[in-house]
């Protein structure tokens, strides 16, 4: 019986290792209608949520995530604005960075990280306001060891690169200017 239990434990650990090293991606970058949802986006407010303060001990913080996204978007040429400025600018959008993590019984974390771009849709002249709606999103999920959550930053960088690529497709003049 102990041999069978030993094999079961070994197989379980191997399975967990494979899960921890193989993150899967999921995204919603459907351009079926060819609407160019990112066309005209020139300024973005960045909102980071879901990162528990206790994850700082693992090397993961909301402020570092915000700084990385800001740096990438600024290098690309998008203006990063604060919430007050985003509210004043009619064409400003909000890029939501969302991180979720749940600890499993084996002391690993199931995580999900996503980017969502919300744009303003005007309600009409009489109303004078707007409603925010999601026009682009991308994400990734997997399992990670709590002792080292720094790979999450790399996953975030990849998602921002996908956003920049999508923005470039919808704003060809901007992408051409960046190549010069």
> Residue 139: which CATH number?
3.30.160
What value does the mean pLDDT take over residues 22-30?
Answer: 43
Count up the domains in the chain and report the number.
1
Please determine, for residue 28, whether its predicted confidence score (pLDDT) is greater than 80. no
pLDDT reported for residue 179: 47
Of all residues in the chain, the percent with pLDDT exceeding 70 is 75
Q: Is the pLDDT of residue 177 over 80?
A: no
What is the band of 85 on the pLDDT scale with cuts at 50, 70, 90? very high
Rounded Cα distance between 173 and 161, Å, is 18
Q: Is 28 part of any domain?
A: no
* 154 vs 13: which has the higher pLDDT: 154
pLDDT of residue 8: 56
Residues sharing a CB contact under 8 Å with residue 2, sequence separation 6 or more, in sequence order:
none
pLDDT at 1 exceeding the cut of 70 = no
The pLDDT of residue 82 is 95
Give me the domain span that covers residue 100.
42-179
DSSP element (H, E) containing 122: strand 109-122
Q: What is the pLDDT of residue 5?
A: 58
Q: Check residues 8 and 126 and name the one with the higher pLDDT.
A: 126
Give the lowest-confidence range in 7-16, 108-117, 134-143, 169-178: 7-16
Torsions phi, psi of 99, nearest 5?
-120, 130
Residue 113: inside a domain: yes
165 domain-assigned = yes
- pLDDT over 90 at 15, yes or no: no
Tell whether 17 is covered by a domain: no
Tell me, what's the pLDDT at 174?
A: 65
Contact 159, 165 (CB under 8 A): no
Instruction: Give the integer Cα–Cα distance in Å for 158 and 169.
Output: 17
Q: Is 29 within a domain? A: no
Q: Which residues contact 66 (CB under 8 A, 6 or more apart)?
A: 46, 48, 97
This prediction's pTM? 0.76
Would you say 120 and 45 are in contact if contact means Cβ atoms under 8 Å apart?
no
Average of per-residue pLDDT across 50-79? 94
């Amino acid at each position: 019986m102990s041999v069978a239990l030993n094999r079961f434990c070994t197989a379980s650990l191997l399975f967990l290792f494979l899960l921890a090293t193989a993150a899967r991606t999921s995204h919603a970058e459907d351009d079926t209608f060819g609407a160019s949802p990112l066309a005209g986006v020139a300024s973005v407010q960045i909102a980071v949520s879901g990162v528990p303060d206790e994850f700082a001990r693992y090397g993961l913080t909301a402020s570092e995530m915000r700084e990385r996204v800001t740096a990438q978007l600024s290098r690309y040429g998008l203006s990063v604005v604060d919430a007050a400025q985003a509210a004043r600018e009619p064409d400003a959008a909000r890029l939501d960075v969302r991180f979720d993590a749940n600890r499993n019984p084996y002391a690993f974390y199931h995580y999900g990280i996503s980017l969502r771009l919300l744009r303003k849709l005007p309600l009409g002249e009489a109303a004078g306001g707007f409603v925010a709606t999601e026009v682009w999103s991308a994400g990734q999920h997997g399992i990670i060891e709590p002792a080292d959550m720094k790979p999450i930053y790399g996953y975030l960088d990849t998602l921002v690169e996908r956003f920049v690529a999508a923005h470039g497709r919808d704003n060809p003049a901007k992408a051409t200017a960046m190549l010069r």
